[in-house]
C-alpha cells in the first residue's frame, strides 16, 4: 500500500505473472530423480524465494540462462503448455525480468545451490532496506554487516550459547533462507568437514534449525 496524494493505492507486493512463472519453471525443470526433497516457496518480509531440486539442466548456465533453451521434462512442459500455464515456450525468463523492472522492482536473482536452483524476487521493501545483493558476486553475511536485524542478540545468546561460526550460520540463514554444508564451509574455510557436520547437528539438537532433505540434497532452515 502507498499513499498517492490523498488516495490509498493497493498493489501486489510481487507481480502475479512473475510468481506464476517462477513456480511453473520449478515444476517443469526440477530434477524428479532427487528423493526426499521438493519444490519450496519461502516468503520473507523483503523477498520471495522459489527453490527447485536439481541444478540447471543440460548446457544451460547462469550466464546463458536468458538465451539458451533446454527442457529436462518435456512431457510436463507440454502438459502445462496445453493447460495454459506456459504462454510462450522459452521466453519465461525474459518476461520475468521485464515485468519486474516495469513494476519498479529489481530483476529476479537466479542462483544455483549445492543441489538445486533458486529464484529470488525482491520486494520494494527489501530495496529500501538495502537488502539487494548480486547473484554474480554473492557475499556471505558477517555479524558486523547484519547486526541491526540479526536474530543473534545478547538475549538470544544468553539462552543459547553458540560458537562464532554457529552465530554466522544463523545470520546466513536469516539472509538467504537456508544453509548447506558447502555454504557453511565457505563461511569457515579453515574448519574440517566433520566439525561443520557437528556444528549443524548441534544446532538441530538445540531446536534452532530444521534439517531438510537427505545426503547431498540436505540443507537447514530456521525452526
For residue 2, tell me if it sits in a domain.
no
State whether 151 and 57 are in the same domain: no
Mean pLDDT of 88-96: 77
157 vs 25, which has greater pLDDT? Answer: 25
Domain stop point among 109, 135, 161: 135
Domain at 49, CATH number: 3.30.565.60
pLDDT at 217 over 80: no
pLDDT above 70 covers a percentage of the chain that reads: 85
State whether 34 and 143 are in the same domain: no
Q: For the ranges 115-124, 159-168, 200-209, which has the lowest average pLDDT?
A: 159-168
For residue 4, tell me if it sits in a domain.
no
Q: How confident is the model at residue 137 (pLDDT cuts 50, 70, 90)?
A: very low
State whether 102 and 163 are in the same domain: no
State whether 166 and 154 are in the same domain: yes
State whether 188 and 117 are in the same domain: no
Domain stop point among 118, 135, 152: 135
For residue 1, tell me if it sits in a domain.
no
State whether 116 and 184 are in the same domain: no
The predicted pLDDT at position 120 comes to 94
Whether the full predicted model's pTM is greater than 0.85, yes or no, is no
What does the mean pLDDT of the chain come to? 81
pLDDT at 100 over 60: yes
Domain count, the chain: 2
The predicted pLDDT at position 42 comes to 92
State whether 77 and 40 are in the same domain: yes
State whether 130 and 144 are in the same domain: no
State whether 93 and 46 are in the same domain: yes
State whether 57 and 116 are in the same domain: yes
For residue 5, tell me if it sits in a domain.
no
Domain at 218, CATH number: 1.10.10.10
Domain coverage including residue 185: 139-223
State whether 61 and 99 are in the same domain: yes
pLDDT at 221 over 70: yes
The predicted pLDDT at position 88 comes to 67
Summarised one tens digit per residue, pLDDT across range 141-159 is: 433 333 344 567 777 777 7
pLDDT at 130 over 60: no
Return contacts of 31-36, CB within 8 angstroms, 24+ apart.
31/55, 31/57, 31/72, 32/73, 34/115, 34/217, 35/214, 36/213, 36/214, 36/217
pLDDT at 172 over 80: yes
Amino acid at each position: 500500500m502507498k499513499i498517492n496524494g490523498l488516495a490509498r493505492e493497493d498493489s501486489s507486493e510481487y507481480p502475479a505473472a512473475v510468481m506464476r512463472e517462477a513456480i511453473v519453471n520449478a515444476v517443469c525443470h526440477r530434477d524428479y530423480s532427487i528423493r526426499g526433497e521438493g519444490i519450496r516457496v519461502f516468503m520473507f518480509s523483503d523477498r520471495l524465494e522459489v527453490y527447485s531440486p536439481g541444478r540447471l539442466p543440460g548446457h544451460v548456465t547462469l550466464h546463458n540462462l536468458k538465451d539458451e533453451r533446454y527442457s529436462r521434462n518435456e512431457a510436463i512442459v507440454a502438459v502445462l503448455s496445453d493447460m495454459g500455464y506456459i504462454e510462450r515456450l522459452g521466453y519465461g525468463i525474459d518476461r520475468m525480468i521485464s515485468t519486474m523492472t516495469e513494476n519498479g522492482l529489481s530483476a529476479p536473482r537466479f542462483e544455483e545451490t549445492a543441489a538445486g536452483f533458486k529464484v529470488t524476487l525482491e520486494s520494494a521493501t527489501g530495496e529500501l532496506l538495502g537488502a539487494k545483493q548480486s547473484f554474480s558476486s554473492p557475499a556471505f553475511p558477517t555479524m558486523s554487516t547484519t547486526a541491526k536485524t540479526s536474530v543473534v542478540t545478547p538475549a538470544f545468546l544468553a539462552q543459547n550459547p553458540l560458537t562464532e561460526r554457529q552465530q554466522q550460520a544463523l545470520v546466513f540463514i536469516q539472509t538467504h533462507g537456508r544453509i548447506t554444508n558447502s555454504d557453511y564451509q565457505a563461511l569457515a574455510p579453515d574448519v574440517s568437514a566433520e566439525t561443520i557436520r557437528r556444528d549443524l547437528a548441534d544446532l538441530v539438537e538445540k531446536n534452532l534449525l530444521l534439517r531438510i532433505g537427505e545426503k547431498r540434497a540436505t540443507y537447514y532452515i530456521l525452526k
